[in-house]
Chains A and B, each alone.
Chain A
């Protein structure tokens, strides 16, 4: 899928390229939410890691003048990952709505801190230096494509690794934890540490997503940590469904597409459009777009 998208790039109009870039960057954050959701956990504060990843990139570039895209993305992921490790100790004890609420509170605290930080432009945020790629410094369309391919690359790697993770004990212990924590404990596994790892995995993905988004947008601001941002990601997670890894990216793409379409066609009613889409998905596609993909796959296999 990613190879295909990568190959398609030169044929796409620029605006589609940039739209897809941002959609796929956010797709990583959604993938993180999928990891949690499989274990029955929903974070209404995932924007926390998104924002940390973005600011890590922006600040590194701003303070050190270091602009290599690949390294910056890694830095973003690591920064968010470290925060997730710390927060995880706290968060791993919580379930259901309480998990959601606490993560929300934490992200809102970061929001508050950033708004207070006038040296970083408060709510205005500040711009991110144009990235370079191993010394190669593209511009305009070239830059767009470079970022697009970078995003696809990171997504592909992320998707593969998460695929492996889902097949590992830590990854597979999602439905079981949702179903019956006690049994998991008596099989000799610490549920807390499994959830902790999930929080960290989701955090890293969130950070990577934020980092890529920061580079693609060229600007960061505290809104990236606001609860509505998190809400958007959860929205896409539901839209995509926890079924497959690919769904996260497809869902994110559909979401960006619908949003942008609504902005274009009915600038004053785009929220209603989004809301209706979400509602209809929940009512008629309870397992999200992923289920459709899966069904098609199955049909394909049945044929062959």
Chain B
């Protein structure tokens, strides 16, 4: 089958600053793609353009052979692309279940104004879907906890869960492990990746920790100065001298920086 996501010579400039330039990538369905690169290398810009948070200055983005360049993020979400965030974006005043349930209900409604009013939040299938996803991400015991009282790891899982509850075909994770202690990182990624496997979701994830990338990605894109300097299997990319010199070499520093940045 053809690629689920295809990006052709994408470019984004803010005034004189070039945040991303001639990025051309295509991703086949159900692949797990790791994205590495120093801060400001254009990883988040890349993701923001695909999810419609930023409009590219040049180039085009195709999802399942439909062009989605410059569409508003909510439309793109409805097409089947969803994302998680560097800083978990959840609803602090609601419980985990409520967070998940409203996400599920939204995914189930028709987009119209009337759809919003006509769709109940606690419809049976919304509830089952929410519970299922909560189980899938193994945060069941927090189900009734208000989100503002959650430990960092669970916040992340909830954030990703809310992105997954609507059965997207493509998921973009922006630094899923940022702000997570080294020892928790692997468990978290295990949970997430297995969840995505079971739902057959193609995933692009930005990551600073090369071990995690090596462990969980089928393929790795290396960003530097707004463009892709290496693209291949984890081993290929990570062994690439340019990558060694420009990214993994400075890994520790950026990791530290990214922690502060997150």
Contacts and interface: CB of A to CB of B under 8 A. Distances in A.
A168 B116 contact: yes
Given A167-B122, A185-B73, A186-B74, A197 B93 contact: no
B116 A173 contact: yes
A171 B118 CA distance: 10
Contacts of A112: none
A8 interface: no
A191 to B, nearest CB: 9
Contact of B94 (A168, A170, A176, A197): A176
Given A172-B102, A178-B93, A183-B162, A188 B74 contact: yes
Interface string A175-208: 1101110110111111001101100000000000
Interface stretch (B36-44, B76-84, B194-202): B76-84
Interface residues of B, number: 33
B106 A182 contact: no
B186 to A, nearest CB: 27
Contact of B91 (A169, A183, A193, A197): A183
Nearest to B116: A170
B61 to A, nearest CB: 16
B105 A172 contact: yes
B121 A169 contact: yes
Contacts of B121: 167-169, 171-172
A66 interface: no
B94 A185 contact: no
B109 A187 contact: no
A188 B91 CA distance: 15
Given A186-B73, A187-B77, A188-B111, A197 B116 contact: yes
Interface in B211-236: none
Q: How large is the interface on A (under 10, 10 to 19, 20 to 34, 35 or more residues)?
A: 20 to 34
A170 B109 CA distance: 10
A126 interface: no
A165 interface: yes
Nearest to A166: B121
Output the residue of B93, B94, B109, B116 with the most chain A CB within 10 A.
B116
B93 A175 contact: yes
A245 B249 CA distance: 60
A176 B119 CA distance: 16
Contact of A176 (B83, B102, B117, B166): B102
Nearest to B119: A169
Contact of A170 (B82, B93, B103, B117): B117
Given A167-B122, A169-B119, A175 B91 contact: yes
Interface string B92-136: 111000000011011101010101111111100000000000000
B117 A188 contact: no
A180 B155 CA distance: 14
Interface in B14-41: none
B51 A186 contact: yes
B107 A169 contact: no
B243 interface: no
Given A186-B51, A187-B107, A188-B74, A168 B120 contact: yes
Contacts of A179: 90-94
B162 A187 contact: yes
14 contacts: A165-B117, A171-B117, A172-B121, A183-B91, A186-B82, A186-B83, A187-B77, A188-B78, A188-B107, A188-B111, A189-B74, A193-B116, A197-B113, A197-B117
Interface of A: 165, 167-173, 175-176, 178-180, 182-183, 185-190, 193-194, 196-197
What 6 pairs between A and B have smallest CB-CB spacing? A188-B77, A170-B116, A183-B89, A172-B121, A179-B91, A170-B117
